Amino acid sequence: MTRPEWAPEEVDINVPNAARMYDYSLGGFHNFAADREMVEKVVSLAPNARQIGLANRAFLGRVVRRMVADGVRQFLDVGSGIPTLANVHEVAQEVDPEARVMYVDFDPVAVAHGRAILAGNPRAEAIRGDVRRPDDIVRHPEVTGLLDFTEPVAVLLIAVLHFVPDADDPAGIVRRFREAIRPGSMIAISHGSPPPLRPEAADAVSDVYQRTSTPLHLRTADQIAGLLDGLEIVAPGVVPVTDWHPEPEDAGTEARPEVLAAVGRKPFGRN
């Protein structure tokens, strides 16, 4: 397989990766044959896989717009993936050009293209970081140089924690982000969940992801709510991404219980 000129040398282009698979699903171009083949395999097992990805992306746009409307002007997008469409800085800065966004991803392809897209935007940056090491992220000099943690910050953990096994303590990861932000800040999560119907399909998709660099770990609504322990989960609670404050243009959209969403607000008086 020929390596594209834009692919960093440290990337194994023969091993599929969730960020690049998601990019392909959303219509992006920064992916490799191994990623595309794996997406097609997933689609063969779960024909609605692309619709699920688009529904998740639509939730991201809605939650960012709602947070900006609530007065949040700073966003820490961890596991941001490859910039493809409706990126956080585009959504937030359309509402308020002063909004600041820090993208963090472990995949060097995602970071390289994020930096290329953000060149010339002084209020948005991208760094490489591992969601499993939240302290390294919130203390990173580029993060603290852009975001002011004495003011409200929204931490976005969109479709990332389902790649974190229980052994790596996803609840502890969220807790460390919670401890780093001031009261009034928020944490948004979307997370894969076993669908109520055809659980065998979910098992098959999970088996496919086991062959990637990012195995999948689905969790129930109660488990996802537990990840937000210590935060006030705002209405409507833990719900399918399609049901989290849908907008008029979303009328008639098929519910997507395969991915659940929730937003927690840090209450005053809590560490």
User: Residue 249: inside a domain, yes or no?
Assistant: yes
Q: Which residue stretches of 11-118 are H helix?
A: 18-25, 33-45, 49-69, 88-95, 108-118
pLDDT tens digits, residue range 241-251?
A: 999 999 877 76
> Amino acid identity, residue 181?
I
Would you say 25 and 18 are in contact if contact means Cβ atoms under 8 Å apart?
A: no
User: Residue 7: inside a domain, yes or no?
Assistant: no
- pLDDT score for 197: 47
Total domain count, the chain: 1
For CA atoms 53, 55, 57, 63, the dihedral sign is negative
User: Residue 150: inside a domain, yes or no?
Assistant: yes
Would you say 250 and 256 are in contact if contact means Cβ atoms under 8 Å apart?
A: no
User: Residue 24: inside a domain, yes or no?
Assistant: yes
Instruction: Show the domain range for 218.
Output: 18-265
User: Residue 270: inside a domain, yes or no?
Assistant: no
Segment 93-119 mean pLDDT: 90
User: Residue 74: inside a domain, yes or no?
Assistant: yes
User: Residue 106: inside a domain, yes or no?
Assistant: yes
| More confidently predicted of 165 and 83 | 165
- pLDDT score for 14: 75
Helix axes 33-45, 18-25, angle to 10 degrees: 70
User: Residue 13: inside a domain, yes or no?
Assistant: no
- pLDDT score for 104: 97
Any idea what the CATH number is for the domain that residue 217 is in? 3.40.50.150
Joined tokens for residue 223: 């488990």
- Separation of alpha carbons 183 and 121, rounded Å: 28
49-53, 137-141, 198-202 — most confident range = 137-141
- Separation of alpha carbons 241 and 122, rounded Å: 31
- pLDDT score for 57: 87
Q: What is the DSSP letter of 115?
A: H
